[in-house]
Amino acid sequence: MTPLALTLLPAVFFIAMVLTMVGLGGGLIFSPLFVLLGLPQAGAASAALLLNLVAAGAAAWTYARRGMVDYALGLPLIAASSLTAPLGAGLNLRLPPGVFLAVLATILTLAGAVMLLPPRAEEEPRAPRRARMLGGAAIGACTGLLGGLLGIGGGVFIVPLLVHVLGVPVRTAAASSTFIVCFSSLTGFAGYASLSAVDWAFVLPAAGACALGGLAGARLMAHRLHGRAVRLVFSLTLLAMSLGLLARLL
């Protein structure tokens, strides 16, 4: 492992801890970070998806033990996103690096802005079961494609859409998202694995740091944070990362 890769391990832990608190696995930051550090675009996205899978899996395990995951809502999203994530991986190879970062920055800004909006009141009825399943499948297909394309798993899209389109409580949306992005990250990584090499000397130690960060973030969210705090942390994290990407493009 190179000295740069070794110094990245604490950052990998911290990123995974913060983002799993808000329903993400870390690919949201890992993918552009690795590109900015000089990794090939496809290689950066593949490494980010694998780390995203590890961190999200660690968090999902913690949430599932506490009964916070809505499996009935998650299954349609898993099926649809798992099918479209490999397609996004293939499209990544056709996307110029500047466009890649610009699209990612735009997505982060939109998602961060949406999460600043007040969520639906908890006492309001949620969408009917059939509508949630159909809406979940549509959300899954779109987020799987974009997540595979950008190397971020899709949680950045899933949480705001679950909250503001299907009326899912923020904590349930964040917890369920970690379960969903495990599958889209896995299939997206499989698509990349057949197209580019993976730096296992870096990825395997980083995966250990991700697992620890994911467990720590899940514990903090499960025990200490409430819906408003989760939404605020989510939004500020996305907007800060978007500003960083835009600064690099200017």
Closest CA to 138 of 112, 111, 113, 161: 161
Residue 113 CA: distances (Å) to CA of 107, 108, 176, 235? 10, 8, 21, 7
The conformation of residue 196, written as its DSSP 8-state character, comes to: S
Alpha-carbon gap, residue 233 to 243, rounded angstroms:
16
Closest CA to 13 of 226, 189, 206: 206
Residue 40 CA: distances (Å) to CA of 46, 63, 134, 196, 250? 10, 34, 37, 9, 21
The one-digit pLDDT tens for each residue of the chain (250 residues) are: 556 567 778 888 888 887 777 666 667 678 777 776 777 777 777 788 888 888 888 878 888 888 888 888 888 888 888 888 888 878 877 878 788 778 878 887 887 787 677 655 544 445 666 776 787 788 888 888 887 887 776 777 787 788 877 778 877 888 888 888 888 888 888 877 776 656 777 778 888 888 888 788 777 765 555 556 666 776 787 788 788 778 777 7
Question: In sequence order, which ranges of 93-199 are alpha helices (DSSP H)?
Answer: 97-115, 129-150, 155-164, 170-193
